[in-house]
Amino acid sequence: MATENKNLSNYDKSTIPNANKFRFGIVVSEWNDTITGNLYEGAYNTLLEHGVLPKNIITWHVPGSFELIYGCKKMQKQMVNAVIAIGSVIQGETKHFDFVCEAVAQGIKDLNVNSETPVVFCVLTDNNMQQALDRSGGKHGNKGIESAIAAIKMAELRKNS
């Protein structure tokens, strides 16, 4: 496992651009809301920590991870510099997990290919609830923090290219 015994949410804050002039959209799945709530909190607080004003963070909720694609597509039209898609899909007893994970990954990839507004993939695809907890504020850090850093870097890239 790539993140075994590592907390990837620790980073050098001095290397992150000041984001005070950027606007961000965050689209959050309501499914597995304990996990997505933790991811959202990590992303939101990290954006604030890097200079984003609260009024420049637009948050929308969608029912599940599959609906993130549509929500992010609509969010791209809100004059934001980057969008963060937050979701959590946990393996069950059927193939539903595979279909949802594949569709969401491909859908968000398509949004990035077809738009000038980057969408950051913060969708946990875990085998069980413990793995999701470990990646949403547990022993492996908070992927929401990492997604906010990625969004800031992508907004900066968009501005400079």
CA distances from 112 to 69, 86, 149 (A): 11, 15, 17
Per-residue pLDDT reduced to its tens digit, 45-54: 999 999 999 9
Q: What is the pLDDT of residue 1?
A: 37
pLDDT digits (tens, 9 = 90+) for 52-79: 999 999 999 999 999 999 999 999 999 9
Is the pLDDT at 10 greater than 90? The verdict is no
Alpha-carbon span 53 to 71, nearest angstrom: 22
Is 90 exceeded by the pLDDT of residue 124?
A: yes
Q: Which residues are catalytic?
A: 96
Rounded-to-integer distance, Cα 13 and Cα 73, Å: 30
Q: What single DSSP character describes residue 149?
A: H
User: Is 79 exposed, middle or buried (CB count within 10 Å of its CB: 0-12, 13-18, 19+)?
Assistant: exposed
| Domains located in the chain, CATH noted | 33-160 (3.40.50.960)
* pTM (2 d.p.): 0.93
